[in-house]
Amino acid sequence: MIKDDDINVPCESAFQEIEREVFLVPVTMSPVAPKETPKQEPVAEKVEEPAKIEEPAIEVTPPGESLEVKEFKFDSKDPINRQFIPEKGFAQYSRYFVYDFHNFGVTEPEFALFIRDVDAIIKSGKKPVITVEASASKVPSTRFKSNEELVDNRNATAHDQIRDELAKYKRVEGKDYTFGTPTKLVQGKDYANDAKKNRLIYEQFQYIKVRVQG
Rounded average pLDDT over 178-186? 98
Going by their DSSP bridges, the two strands 207-213 and 90-96 should be labelled as antiparallel
**Is pLDDT at 50 greater than 50 in this prediction?**
no
- Contact of 205 with 94, CB cutoff 8 Å: no
What pLDDT does residue 108 have?
87
Q: Is residue 56 very low, low, confident or very high in pLDDT (cuts 50, 70, 90)?
A: very low
In this structure, which long-range contacts are made by residues 193-197, counting pairs with CB atoms below 8 Å and at least 24 apart in sequence? 195/139
Q: Is 80 exposed, middle or buried (0-12, 13-18, 19+ CB in 10 A)?
A: middle
- Give the pLDDT of residue 141: 87
CB 49 within 8 A of CB 32: no
Helix (H) or strand (E) holding 155: helix 147-167
Secondary structure (3-state) at 196: coil
Is it the case that residue 155 has pLDDT exceeding 90? yes
- Average pLDDT of the chain is 79
Residue 183 main-chain phi, psi, to 5 deg: -110, 130
* 11 compared with 88, residue with greater pLDDT: 88
- Tell me: pLDDT of 25 over 50: yes
The pLDDT score that the predictor gives to residue 38 is 55
Q: Among 130, 210, 214, 124, which Cα is nearest to 178's?
A: 130
| 3.30.1330, 3.30.70, 3.40.50, 3.30.1450: CATH of 80-213 | 3.30.1330
Q: What is the pLDDT of residue 51?
A: 39
The vertex-74 CA angle with 205 and 69, nearest 5°, equals: 110
Residue 95 has pLDDT above 80, yes or no: yes
Mean pLDDT within 65-82: 82
pLDDT in the model for residue 57: 46
